[in-house]
Structure 1
Amino acid sequence: MSSESITFAPVGTVHCEFKYRFETARQGVFAKNRGYIELLPHRNYEQALEDLDGFERIWVIFAFHLNHDWKPKVTPPVVPGQRRFGVFATRAPYRPNPVGISCVELEKVEGLRVYIRNFDMLDQTPVLDIKPYIPEADSFPESRAGWRDEIRREEYSIQIEDTAREKMAVIHTLCGLDMENFCKVQLIREPTAKERKRVEPYHGGLWTIGCRTWRIAFRVKDRTVEILDVFSNYSPEELRAGQPDPYHDKEFHRRFQEKYPV
């Protein structure tokens, strides 16, 4: 190790249902998810984990494994006036060294598995280190927060129609995808911002947002986002037997359409 080059090896890997960048919450406190960190065997990490389960929260230091470049100026998910900020003044993943931190809730420790919830990491995220969250040392709620102090707290309320909620429950049973939480994370602010989200205008003045290979139809009325429907983003031709299935999920869509024919 020298001042010019520092090499780290992961101590473990995150395992969870979130696999794609657009599923990541802005911060762990906005997520409603569960998963676990599997530490590597034969490294004496069992002893290293002793005494950790007495803490309610932990810091997880990880690598942004899906990012391969960096940007000196970035536009975070929630900004005042659509401005760009220096990356060191944000927690954006586009960093010279792709290192992230997440304060997560600790559920339990079993062997080499650290069970966590409410985090902003994806499946297969490499974990570099784990540290305890110490309230008297790590919490300074009265501190100035730079440009974040300018953010207007303009959040939309999310209402999910019964039909859409029923379909979301079916999809969750089929493949474990939590669409309700996805909507709360993605649509609570700037729900129709096409430059930031996978949203498209839809017929009748509605909008849709992509969630993996599904689409969710919604309406914006005053300060409320009304979730109206959920449907497959695959065409009938794409769902025919023998067609390529790069995401290994077409059987879920076929079973969904058996219950809800187009």
Structure 2
Amino acid sequence: MLLIPIGYFHGSTTDKHRAPRQPNPEHGIDGIIKLDKGYDFEQALIDLETFSHIWVIYGFHKANGWKPMVLPPRGEKKRGVFATRSPYRPNSIGISVVKLSNINGLNITITGTDLLDGTPIFDIKPYIPYADAQYEANAGWLDGLNHEETEVLVTEDLTHMLDDEEIARIIKHAEQSLRDSPLPHPYRRIKHIEGNVYELSIKEWRLLYRIINERKVIIEAITQTGSMK
């Protein structure tokens, strides 16, 4: 079977390390699926706008190869890849539920997704609550983890710097990275400095933060290689 993209996603994030790990209406990415011309997709889209959410089937275009055992972002134990959402799969195919905001011609605006700019789209299906929502389902090994998110705060000095678009973007990325846990993990470039002080690295940026308690941290300083912010 040969899969041919029907279009591509266009959004603001190209770096897989800066994308949310799951679709999320609050912290997800907004963007547009642009379907290819010349295939009568205009007719294929008829009545899709009557749904609030859709399934998007896509390709992990930045994943190379696959691994039978992977270390998920949550937890410290390797799991079988079929028991995770890892993009490194035998067939690099992903599926996400996203909110459908608008359809204009061949352009489909969606919100709260985890897709990267340039993601190939293979199919679109309506999300049907009575068929797709399984209220009796459990979350497997994830049920044994603490799902309470870490609250990420910034000092007053840094709050005044959020008008800087680049700094605001880096801090938002830091919030996404620290939300699951502020402690060192192979998925997060975190270094213990001393006591309850840690440093998170995001490319050339270094963010110094302090752990207030198990589920609250405060970012106190942000520096860029060769300069001070």
State how far apart, in whole Å, the 2-side matches of 1:48 and 1:210 are. Answer: 45
Structure 1 residue runs of 5 or longer lacking an equivalent are 1-5, 237-260
Larger radius of gyration: 1
- Equivalent positions of 1:52-201 (< 5 A) are 52-79=48-75, 82-172=76-166, 178-201=169-192
1:12 paired residue number: 7
Q: Is the 8 A contact 2:58 2:123 kept in 1?
A: yes
1:215 CA displacement: 3.0
1:32 paired residue number: 28
Letter in 2 for 1:188: R
Matched, 1:50 2:46: yes
Q: 1:71 to 1:108 in 2, by over 3 A?
A: same
Q: Is the 8 A contact 1:74 1:92 kept in 2?
A: yes
Larger relative strand fraction:
2
1:205 CA displacement: 5.9
State how far apart, in whole Å, the 1-side matches of 2:208 and 2:51 are. Answer: 41
Q: 1:204 to 1:166 in 2, by over 3 A?
A: farther
Q: 1:167 to 1:200 in 2, by over 3 A?
A: farther
Q: 1:53 to 1:210 in 2, by over 3 A?
A: farther
Q: Is the 8 A contact 1:192 1:199 kept in 2?
A: yes
TM-score by length of 2: 0.89
Q: Is the 8 A contact 1:36 1:114 kept in 2?
A: yes
Q: Is the 8 A contact 1:217 1:228 kept in 2?
A: yes
Q: Is the 8 A contact 1:31 1:181 kept in 2?
A: no
RMSD of aligned Cα (Å): 2.2
Runs of 4+ in 1 over 6 A off after TM superposition: none
State how far apart, in whole Å, the 1-side matches of 2:223 and 2:50 are. Answer: 44
1:212 CA displacement: 4.5
Structure 2 residue runs of 5 or longer lacking an equivalent are none
Q: Is the 8 A contact 2:150 2:179 kept in 1?
A: yes
Letter in 2 for 1:149: D
1:58 CA displacement: 0.7
State how far apart, in whole Å, the 2-side matches of 1:50 and 1:211 are. Answer: 43
Greater shift, 66-75 or 178-187, is seen at: 178-187
State how far apart, in whole Å, the 1-side matches of 2:196 and 2:98 are. Answer: 39
Larger relative helix fraction:
1
Q: Is the 8 A contact 1:194 1:200 kept in 2?
A: no
TM-score by length of 1: 0.79
Matched, 1:217 2:208: yes
Provide the secondary structure at the position in 2 that maps to 1:118.
strand
Q: Is the 8 A contact 1:168 1:230 kept in 2?
A: no
Q: Is the 8 A contact 2:19 2:29 kept in 1?
A: no
Q: 1:142 to 1:169 in 2, by over 3 A?
A: farther
